[in-house]
Structure 1
Amino acid sequence: MFSHNTELFVILTFVSGSAALYCLSCTDSVSPRHCHTVRKCSEGEVCFTESHTSENGAVVYDTGCATSQTCRTKRAHHDKIKSLHGVDPHYHHSQCMECCSSHLCNNQGCGQPGYPMTRGPACFDCQQVSDPMLCDKIKVCEINQVCYLQKEMEFGDVLFASSCINKHACTSDVDIFGKRNLQSCSRCCLADLCNNECGDLAFPSSTSTSSLASTTTVTPSTTQAPRSMGSRGREFFTLFMKNYRALRNLTVYITTNNETTVKILTSPHLNANIQSVFNFTSNFKLDLPLNLDCEYFTVEPKGLILQTSELSSVTIFDSFYLTSNDGTLIIPTQKLSNKYIVSSTDPHYTDSDYYSQFAIGALYNRTNVEIIFKFKHNTPLTIQGKSYRDGDIFTVMLERFDTLQIAHTTDLSGSFITSTKPIAVFSGNRCQDLKDGCSHMVTQLPPTTEIDTQYIIPPFYHNAGTLIQVLSENRSSITSSVGSSVSNFHLNEKGYKNIEVTSNVTTVIESDHPVLVTAFGMGIPYHPYVTVVPGVHQYLDYYKIIVPAGYEENFICVIVSSQSLNSLRINGFSVSHYTSVYQSALTLTKHFSIRTFKVQSGTFVLSTTDASQFGLFVYGHRHADGYGFAGNFVHP
């Protein structure tokens, strides 16, 4: 504690941008984080926190907006406090002043702790305003809550209500605010202060203005107001890696709960005929031309950005060839970041048809990408006339929508990719023979900011086994439980380990540091496929997915807490309605039940009536082919 006659003024950071900040604005709070009033600052102002002693001798805290000049100037006279907007000029014995320049950043300062690390979003909290932008009260939600905004009509007047709300209520048809005459705007969102705009989604221009430092872990979306729940979002970046054969269209599946407008953004340099705007309700299948698949070692403008007016989920199937195909979930752009570790397998044969490969797509102009290669066999790789070996670094600059695909005749797993701005990364094999026969394998990769420490990997039913790959950005100690067999191993930085298991056991991976886990379905009689495994902390309480047509058999596998198994609903039916072909149970942080159901093709909505979260895998087989993807593999 400072003595009462001490003055200390600390400047944390300043910005010169024109974007107005939202700052906490209270007088005589017992701590900055207990202030529940916000003020939208004037252009060029920053947030401040100041501690002082009140008239009764207690240390209290004032917060609000201030000019940068005020923050830079050590104030010697109390009358200068009048330049601090929203604070009464009655200071006694000022002790500390700190300034900062991001929304709600003055929830801490002057030695006081800020919001807890584990929390829900900070939401606007007004039960009745004529314009949501007029709300000046906030509330920090619980971990299982999100922000909510509702437009209402009462006595002919338009009113808005905002608050925190349980995540599960966002997917229900319950009239949350108890009003009977509701207007079209009703939405939930996850980001701090996201619930003060109500209206149609505003699509941004195709010109990116984002600029991120290479060390950032914040992942902005190119939409105006990013909102997502795990894999559900309003903007997605996709590309298509090269397949063994390409006889049919590239396919995109989109699901949503409401009538939705989709806009497809492409590079002006792309030579392809693609419909740019369309509308649908519930689900949609979009076929794209084959010439969108990426060539090797060439920068091409082949990336696509899909923007949806409602929360949606997206999966793609990469070159729908009858005996060489795979699918992957596409994660929203606000979940993308700038660090990735590659997962693939060692090619069965050393020719181009079996390449280990990965592809990178840029969301922003002037994105610098660095690749640290890791080769299982130190066979040189030639790119643009230069030879690269294991441990060598390749750099390239990409513009918005640019793609670059890298391939090798040896396993590229463990190669590490960094960038100065968020990118999308996909990996797999052009075609691979893991047990019997070759098939294409592809998955989008989550950034290392979106990986977990605990994983449950069920077996792929009616298959020869599962190849599990564990990859780590940092040195990690890992416990692997395969059935009743437990083993421990260590991974060095950028290291990985393959674990092959039989077709009837469930595997658990636990690590002291976050790791990426992928699973490869091993053929006989069906050829291989790959999916990222969702971490236990990445499970959701709601999914809407499409099981594609054209396969002899399809399966949905769920991992749910045993006490919530009876609350699981699949298209409105309890699990007893479906044919279970595999089941097991295990105890991790709690008791889990694993169930695999055989299903037909079509649209499936999976949820729990008690809002408990669960994991989801979707996969299927046909002669000499298979596909697989997860329902989610990023944090909620």
Structure 2
Amino acid sequence: MIFVSLTDSAGRQFIFGIPETYNSSHDYIKLYIASKDVSKVYITAPGIGFNQTITTLANTSTAVAIPGSIVTTTGLSNKAVYVESDQTISIYVMVREIGSSDGLLLLPIADDAPEFFVASYEPVDPTGPSQFLIIALEDSTLIDIQLRTSAGPVIIGSQSYSSGQNVSLKMSKMQTYLVQHEHDLTGTHITSSKPVSVVSGTKCANVPHDATSCDFLVEQMLPVSFWQREYVCAKLKSRGTNRLRILSSVDGTSVNIGATHIKLNKGEFYEYVNSNDVATPIESNFPVLVLQYAEGGDHDSKRGDPSMITIPSINSQEAEYFYETATPLPYHYVSITIRTDQANGLHIDGSTVSRSDELKTRINTTEFSIIRLSVTVGKHHIYHVDTTVGFGVIVYGFDSRESYGFPLGLTTQGGPRDTVRVLSVPDERT
């Protein structure tokens, strides 16, 4: 198997896991696999005896259901899912539960991404803990965790640890390790000796904490080496408030969020809340991670519930996306971030993108637009007529006490550097 340094969210090899969900039974857990090419894709989860090989069509997405037994519980388990394709593909995952769904974009295996920070939220109570899941690709993977929590000791194994303490683990190929805590674990720092993936979130969180009702939050964490310094964000379409968290990886991080100026140290975050319907620029002297949170419907008196979305930076953008609305919810939306002078070339499903709901702002001398669209249930193709023009997309959906949200792409700056590894994963390819 060959894998390269991460340059965007499309790739040929992926590894991930699903942390504990709010309900023990699920409507479904599905992978949505999209590619410009006909692709042969192999999916295996040896720990639950799951193996499947499919051939996807070109220029569309294909759904594959994963058994619900893949969901992990606290501690060490063999619940990793490995995906390999003969062509470049993009994958997002939807965990569908009535009243508590969310989705995540998968990131390809990266050989030069050993550092992560956890993004989560304060749990509704101890039954819906903050959590992060580490997924190992290879044997003898050494993990170092520097815990950060808003309150209380964290129990890992049979040991109790305080915020700021370090925990060391050794993991084997295709293993997962789930850490949970009754308080927010955001800012926990993870490093590894070999390639891993980190999926984090909350089993059930109110957003904000005093608003009902709680929901499952999940995202795959972008490695620190691919964070960026410039973002633009606005309220999710149909919602009342723009709620962001900006997370820092180093001391002395200075961040401007619209007219707000803050300073952060390693592992610290700032929660920005604004009810004005404006495009908000975010600029920092060191790279940061930006997460957007949909709020509980009882808080903003709008249709919807909590979800957690990684926001693409203005330098983290692709030129074409294939996706399909991944739940039976009736209300689905897209937010597109693009340079204003390039917005005329945007298309969706063969038609020019409507700019009737467009917000504008500037970063330095460049004007950016956020264009928000309602979309129909089904498959969609979002692209620019100029294939050299990149733009960011997040997708999300709502119903009464229902929600999901995730980015469609997280392209990073720089080009691929050849890195070759051979990995022997037990499988039953057909």
Q: Which residue of 2 aligns with 1:373?
A: 147
Structure 1 residue ranges (4+ consecutive) displaced by more than 6 angstroms after TM superposition: none
SS at the partner of 1:412?
coil
Match of 2:171 among 379, 392, 398: 398
Q: Which residue of 1 aligns with 2:426?
A: none
Q: Which residue of 1 aligns with 2:19?
A: 241
Listed as ranges, the gaps of 5+ residues in structure 2 are: 298-302, 414-430
Q: Which residue of 2 aligns with 1:139?
A: none
In the alignment, is the contact (CA less than 8 A) between 1:549 and 1:602 conserved in 2?
no
In the alignment, is the contact (CA less than 8 A) between 2:330 and 2:377 conserved in 1?
no
In the alignment, the residues of structure 2 paired with residue 330 and residue 336 of structure 1 have an alpha-carbon distance, to the nearest angstrom, of 17
Match of 2:134 among 322, 339, 360: 360
In the alignment, the residues of structure 2 paired with residue 225 and residue 407 of structure 1 have an alpha-carbon distance, to the nearest angstrom, of 31
2:283 matches 1:510: yes
- Amino acid across the alignment from 1:600: T
SS at the partner of 1:565?
helix
SS at the partner of 2:341?
helix
Equivalent runs, 1:478-489 vs 2, <5 Å: 478-482=254-258, 486-489=259-262
SS at the partner of 1:421?
coil
In the alignment, the residues of structure 1 paired with residue 265 and residue 6 of structure 2 have an alpha-carbon distance, to the nearest angstrom, of 34
In the alignment, the residues of structure 1 paired with residue 123 and residue 325 of structure 2 have an alpha-carbon distance, to the nearest angstrom, of 29
The TM-score with structure 1 as length reference comes to 0.61
Q: 1:243-271: CA deviations, max 9, x gaps?
A: 1113322111101122211112333xx13
2:310 matches 1:521: no
In the alignment, the residues of structure 2 paired with residue 308 and residue 418 of structure 1 have an alpha-carbon distance, to the nearest angstrom, of 27
Q: 1:186-245: CA deviations, max 9, x gaps?
A: xxxxxxxxxxxxxxxxxxxxxxxxxxxxxxxxxxxxx32648761111111121111111
Match of 1:388 among 153, 161, 164: 161
- Amino acid across the alignment from 2:150: K
In the alignment, the residues of structure 2 paired with residue 380 and residue 477 of structure 1 have an alpha-carbon distance, to the nearest angstrom, of 27
Q: Which residue of 1 aligns with 2:94?
A: 317
Q: Which residue of 2 aligns with 1:289?
A: 67
Structure 1 residue 459, shift from structure 2 partner: 0.9
In the alignment, is the contact (CA less than 8 A) between 2:123 and 2:203 conserved in 1?
no
SS at the partner of 1:346?
coil
Q: Which residue of 1 aligns with 2:392?
A: 615
- Amino acid across the alignment from 1:314: I
Match of 2:363 among 588, 596, 606: 588
Structure 1 residue 573, shift from structure 2 partner: 1.4
Q: Which residue of 1 aligns with 2:35?
A: 256
Equivalent runs, 1:556-567 vs 2, <5 Å: 556-567=334-345
Structure 1 residue 476, shift from structure 2 partner: 3.4
Match of 2:268 among 474, 495, 498: 495
RMSD: 1.8
Q: Which residue of 2 aligns with 1:425?
A: 198
In the comparison of the two structures, how many residue pairs are matched? 400
In the alignment, the residues of structure 2 paired with residue 374 and residue 410 of structure 1 have an alpha-carbon distance, to the nearest angstrom, of 10
CA 1:488–1:573: 2 relative to 1, 3 Å: same
In the alignment, the residues of structure 1 paired with residue 332 and residue 6 of structure 2 have an alpha-carbon distance, to the nearest angstrom, of 28
In the alignment, is the contact (CA less than 8 A) between 1:263 and 1:307 conserved in 2?
yes
Q: Which residue of 2 aligns with 1:535?
A: 313
In the alignment, the residues of structure 2 paired with residue 508 and residue 466 of structure 1 have an alpha-carbon distance, to the nearest angstrom, of 12
CA 1:258–1:458: 2 relative to 1, 3 Å: same
Structure 1 residue 603, shift from structure 2 partner: 2.1
SS at the partner of 2:342?
helix
CA 1:348–1:501: 2 relative to 1, 3 Å: farther
Which of the pair has the greater relative contact order for Cα pairs under 8 Å at 6+ separation? 2
CA 1:413–1:392: 2 relative to 1, 3 Å: same
In the alignment, the residues of structure 1 paired with residue 155 and residue 5 of structure 2 have an alpha-carbon distance, to the nearest angstrom, of 41
Q: 1:418-443: CA deviations, max 9, x gaps?
A: 11111100111101111331111100
Q: Which residue of 2 aligns with 1:570?
A: 348
2:265 matches 1:265: no
Structure 1 residue 606, shift from structure 2 partner: 1.7
In the alignment, the residues of structure 2 paired with residue 315 and residue 503 of structure 1 have an alpha-carbon distance, to the nearest angstrom, of 31
Q: Which residue of 2 aligns with 1:412?
A: 185
Structure 1 residue 503, shift from structure 2 partner: 6.2
Structure 1 residue 278, shift from structure 2 partner: 1.7
In the alignment, the residues of structure 2 paired with residue 336 and residue 615 of structure 1 have an alpha-carbon distance, to the nearest angstrom, of 24
SS at the partner of 2:143?
strand
- Amino acid across the alignment from 1:308: S
Match of 2:9 among 231, 235, 239: 231
CA 1:613–1:271: 2 relative to 1, 3 Å: closer
Q: Which residue of 2 aligns with 1:632?
A: 409
Structure 1 residue 289, shift from structure 2 partner: 0.9
Equivalent runs, 1:48-59 vs 2, <5 Å: none
Q: Which residue of 1 aligns with 2:215?
A: 439
In the alignment, the residues of structure 1 paired with residue 26 and residue 253 of structure 2 have an alpha-carbon distance, to the nearest angstrom, of 45
In the alignment, is the contact (CA less than 8 A) between 2:61 and 2:322 conserved in 1?
no
In the alignment, is the contact (CA less than 8 A) between 2:6 and 2:412 conserved in 1?
no
- Amino acid across the alignment from 1:569: H
- Amino acid across the alignment from 1:423: V
Listed as ranges, the gaps of 5+ residues in structure 1 are: 1-222
CA 1:503–1:632: 2 relative to 1, 3 Å: farther
In the alignment, is the contact (CA less than 8 A) between 2:17 and 2:71 conserved in 1?
yes
CA 1:328–1:310: 2 relative to 1, 3 Å: same
In the alignment, the residues of structure 1 paired with residue 375 and residue 41 of structure 2 have an alpha-carbon distance, to the nearest angstrom, of 29
CA 1:595–1:306: 2 relative to 1, 3 Å: same
Q: Which residue of 1 aligns with 2:52?
A: 276
